[in-house]
């Protein structure tokens, strides 16, 4: 028979999926983080979750060593916080259920310091956007991916979920993002042109906008097999072109999303508008970009400070 805590965890994950509308990937992550806590804690009831237990868990988590390509290292503070956030949300759920347990307010996150953004320069971005050349279906697809990412700042998961049946007479597109929230993004002329050329080249009827193009040898001719692109596939495509045009930085779909946001802010967009365009639930998430865009303050200081002193 399952313990009380196991039953509550199962019901909590179902609550996240059904009531809160969280994605299956998010639910899987919460399940994994909570499993790690319960494996350490070895408890059967929610009233066994105490301040002291959480303190010991945090010490244990901080001392865990994981193997990475660069060698063994401790779990990053950011990842530790994911574990603590999952526990805190679970405790909030227990409170709603009026289960006796630790208050979620007792869970404090570890300080991680300022987040560093991975960015590429405008010149590098230009080279990347121009990298796909040719009129074959693959080149047109890759060109459309790049232009759409930079025009909209889409998350790669949002890009991969798009349908090919887009009204290109409009300059806007509705996308469904995190938490199943719908927002508007806007298409540049270059993005619309790249999409139009790519879609017109397609000779299939698959609903997916961006598909894998696999050559299958048949007795008489080569045929294209249609499969929707995954996030990992898009990451590989971008990495391939970044290397091809000589960019020695790590370039991912999220880097292009960063560049989209900083480009807007550097050209005068307000933070609230950028928050809406990115689909951030909390403006604090968007504020990470101000550290990059505030670099123009150095030039203002240099131009206007202490002029009277020579």
- Enzyme catalytic residues: 155, 178, 254, 257, 280, 289
Residue whose pair of structure tokens reads 């009026």 in the numeric block: 98
Lowest average pLDDT, out of 81-95, 129-143, 165-179, 219-233, goes to 219-233
Residue 296: predicted pLDDT? 60
3-state secondary structure the chain: CCCHHHHHHHHHHHHHHHCCCCCHHHHHHHHHHHHHHHHHHCCCCHHHCCHHHHHHHHHHHHCCEEEECCEEEECCHHHHHHHHHHHHHHHHHHHHCCCCCCCHHHCCCCCCCCCCCCCCCHHHHHHHHCCCCCCCHHHHHHHHHHHHHHHHCCCHHHHHCCECCCCCCCCEEEEECHHHCEEEEECCHHHHHHHHHHHHHCCCCCCECCEEEEEEECCCCEEEEEEECCHHHHHHHHHHHHHHCCCCCCCCHHHHHHHHHHHHHHCCCCHHHHHHHHCCCCHHHHHHHHHHHCCHHHHHHHHHCCHHHC
Q: How confident is the model at residue 77 (pLDDT cuts 50, 70, 90)?
A: confident
Task: Give the C-alpha separation, 17 to 31, whole Å.
Answer: 12
Q: Evaluate if residue 159 carries a pLDDT over 90.
A: yes
Whole-model pTM?
Answer: 0.66
Task: Give the C-alpha separation, 128 to 9, whole Å.
Answer: 46
Residue 305: predicted pLDDT? 64
More confident residue, 87 or 20: 87
pLDDT tens, position by position, 61-75: 999 888 777 778 888
Q: Which CATH superfamily is 122-296 part of?
A: Intergrase catalytic core (1.10.443.10)
Residue 266: predicted pLDDT? 82
Residue 231: predicted pLDDT? 93
Put residue 153 in one of left, alpha, beta given phi > 0 → left and psi -120 to 50 → alpha: left
Out of 1.10.230.10, 1.10.150.130, 3.20.20.70, 1.10.390.10, the CATH code matching 4-106 is: 1.10.150.130
Which residues, in sequence order, are CB contacts of 187 under 8 Å at separation 6+? Answer: 148, 151, 152, 168, 170, 171, 172, 173, 195
Residue 221: predicted pLDDT? 44
More confident residue, 167 or 222: 167
Residue 120: predicted pLDDT? 86
Q: What is the pLDDT averaged over residues 151-165?
A: 94
Residue 218: predicted pLDDT? 36
Residue 177: predicted pLDDT? 86
Q: Are 209 and 215 in contact (CB under 8 A)?
A: no
Q: What is the pLDDT averaged over residues 212-223?
A: 54
Q: How many Cβ atoms from other residues are within 10 Å of residue 172's Cβ?
A: 10
State the Rg of the chain over Cα: 24
Q: How confident is the model at residue 300 (pLDDT cuts 50, 70, 90)?
A: low
Q: What is the pLDDT averaged over residues 182-209?
A: 93
State phi, psi for 213 to the nearest 5 degrees.
Answer: -115, 100
Bridge partners of residue 226, in order along the sequence: 213
Helix axes 271-278, 253-266, angle to 10 degrees: 160
Q: Evaluate if residue 214 carries a pLDDT over 80.
A: no
Q: Evaluate if residue 1 carries a pLDDT over 60.
A: no
Q: Which of the given ranges, 29-43, 106-120, 265-279, has the highest pLDDT on average?
A: 29-43
Q: Evaluate if residue 188 carries a pLDDT over 70.
A: yes
pLDDT tens, position by position, 228-276: 999 999 999 999 999 999 998 889 999 999 999 988 888 888 889 999 9
Domain coordinates in residue numbering, the chain: 4-106, 122-296
Residue 119: predicted pLDDT? 81
Residue 219: predicted pLDDT? 38
Torsion of CA 91, 96, 102, 103, to 10 degrees: 90
């Amino acid at each position: 028979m399952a313990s009380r805590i196991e039953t509550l965890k199962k019901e909590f994950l179902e609550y996240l999926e059904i009531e809160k509308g969280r994605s299956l990937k998010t639910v899987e992550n919460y399940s994994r983080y909570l499993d790690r806590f319960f494996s350490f804690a070895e408890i059967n009831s929610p009233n066994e979750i105490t301040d002291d237990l959480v303190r010991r868990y945090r010490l244990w988590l901080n001392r865990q060593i994981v193997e990475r390509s660069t060698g063994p290292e401790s779990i990053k503070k950011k990842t530790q916080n994911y574990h603590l956030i999952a526990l805190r949300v679970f405790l909030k759920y227990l409170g709603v259920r009026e289960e006796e347990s630790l208050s979620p307010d007792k869970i404090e996150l570890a300080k991680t310091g300022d987040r560093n953004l991975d960015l590429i320069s405008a010149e590098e971005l230009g080279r990347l956007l121009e990298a796909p050349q040719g009129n074959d279906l693959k080149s047109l697809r890759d060109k459309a991916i790049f232009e759409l990412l930079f025009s909209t700042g889409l998350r790669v998961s949002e890009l991969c979920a798009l349908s090919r049946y887009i009204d290109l007479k409009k300059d806007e597109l509705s996308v469904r993002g995190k938490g199943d929230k719908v927002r508007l993004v806007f298409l540049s002329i270059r993005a619309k042109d790249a999409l139009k050329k790519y879609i017109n080249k397609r000779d299939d009827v698959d609903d997916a906008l961006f598909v894998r193009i696999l050559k299958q040898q048949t007795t008489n001719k080569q045929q294209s097999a249609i499969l929707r692109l995954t996030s990992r596939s898009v990451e590989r495509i971008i990495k391939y072109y970044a290397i091809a045009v000589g960019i020695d930085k790590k370039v991912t779909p999220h880097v292009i999303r960063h560049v989209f946001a900083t480009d807007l802010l550097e050209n005068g967009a307000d933070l609230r508008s950028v928050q809406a365009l990115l689909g951030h639930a909390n403006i604090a998430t968007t504020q990470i970009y101000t550290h990059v865009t505030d670099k123009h303050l150095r030039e203002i200081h240099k131009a206007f400070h202490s002029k009277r002193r020579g």
